[in-house]
């Protein structure tokens, strides 16, 4: 593991690191904030998954999480959104596919399958690294994210309910199988058989029997992607008749930006802390 940067913030350490990923067959970068409480013992871990076109840096620079994470004693892990490098497949004119758009799936179709194994990377390889190198209590993990990352957080939680104690999302893509934002990428990564898509679709996972105790979702009503890409009401409909609890908060005037995320970041951190 290579140290790219380390900075003191609110008594803790904000670091950026890289390592050779076996899952993604390339060098991957991630950020970790370790609170000052880690000096005294292991701290719970909260994963933040970013959205399309983003990297680890967006939330690290705009998310405004460090002050409260230091107060609450939570490690924040911010992975990248896809493999990167000169040899990595990409579509330069399509921001919804390739670099910056891994969708947290394990691709099965050429040329993507060699590198785009983001589900395995997030659920297996990177957690092993975090558990080995940071003072992390891996028995207390939560996960949240934004947009594509909200989709990733929800599907990963639904598929791993014994691992995660909490899950929330900012403006998530709850039904990528029906979302204009995701259909093209799913076809490229997973092929035309929509049955394979269901493992990475929160609504479909619930329909197929996956369960997680509760979710918190914040969504801006002025989000330009609300009607075509996000559609949180579909998840609200999917969980009817289940024991899944949902707090869905719709906010007037808020859009899809990090101004929205930073506004409600404290709510999410406190919500996770109460469950971790």
147 is catalytic: yes
What are the tokens at 72?
Answer: 């609450």
256 is catalytic: yes
CB 229 within 8 A of CB 183: no
- The secondary element (H helix, E strand) that includes residue 214 is strand 214-220
218 is catalytic: no
Among 106, 201, 218, 223, the one annotated catalytic:
223
Among 56, 146, 151, 256, the one annotated catalytic:
256
CB 49 within 8 A of CB 145: yes
CB 176 within 8 A of CB 182: yes
Identify each DSSP E strand in the chain by its residue range.
Answer: 2-9, 12-21, 26-34, 43-49, 75-79, 136-146, 164-170, 214-220, 245-251
CB 122 within 8 A of CB 136: no
Question: Tokens 């890409």 correspond to what residue?
Answer: 229
Among 147, 166, 168, 175, the one annotated catalytic:
147
- Whole-number Å distance between alpha carbons of 32 and 12: 10
Catalytic residues: 147, 223, 256
């Amino acid at each position: 593991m290579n140290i790219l940067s380390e900075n003191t913030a609110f008594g803790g350490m904000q670091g950026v690191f890289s390592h050779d990923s076996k899952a993604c067959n390339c060098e991957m970068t991630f950020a970790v904030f370790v609170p000052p409480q880690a000096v005294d013992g292991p701290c719970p871990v909260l994963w933040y998954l970013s959205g399309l076109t983003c990297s680890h840096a967006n939330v690290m620079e705009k998310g405004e999480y460090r002050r409260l994470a230091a107060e609450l004693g939570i490690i924040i892990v911010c992975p990248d959104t896809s493999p990167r490098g000169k040899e990595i497949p990409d579509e330069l004119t399509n921001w919804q596919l390739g670099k910056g758009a891994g969708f947290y799936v394990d691709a099965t179709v050429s040329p993507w399958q060699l590198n785009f194994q983001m589900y395995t990377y997030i659920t297996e390889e990177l957690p092993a690294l975090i558990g080995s190198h940071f003072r992390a209590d891996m028995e207390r993990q939560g996960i949240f994210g934004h947009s594509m990352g909200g989709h990733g957080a929800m599907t990963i939680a639904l598929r791993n309910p014994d691992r995660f104690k909490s899950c929330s999302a900012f403006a998530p893509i709850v039904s990528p199988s029906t979302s204009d934002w995701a259909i093209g990428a799913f076809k490229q990564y997973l092929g035309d058989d929509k049955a394979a898509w269901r493992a990475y679709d929160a609504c479909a996972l619930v329909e197929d029997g996956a369960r997680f105790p509760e979710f918190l979702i914040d969504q801006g009503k002025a989000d330009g992607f609300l009607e075509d890409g996000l559609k949180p009401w579909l998840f609200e409909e999917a969980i009817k008749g289940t024991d899944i609890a949902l707090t869905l908060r719709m906010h007037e005037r808020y859009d899809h930006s990090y101004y929205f995320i930073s506004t409600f970041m404290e709510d999410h951190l406190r919500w996770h802390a109460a469950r971790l």
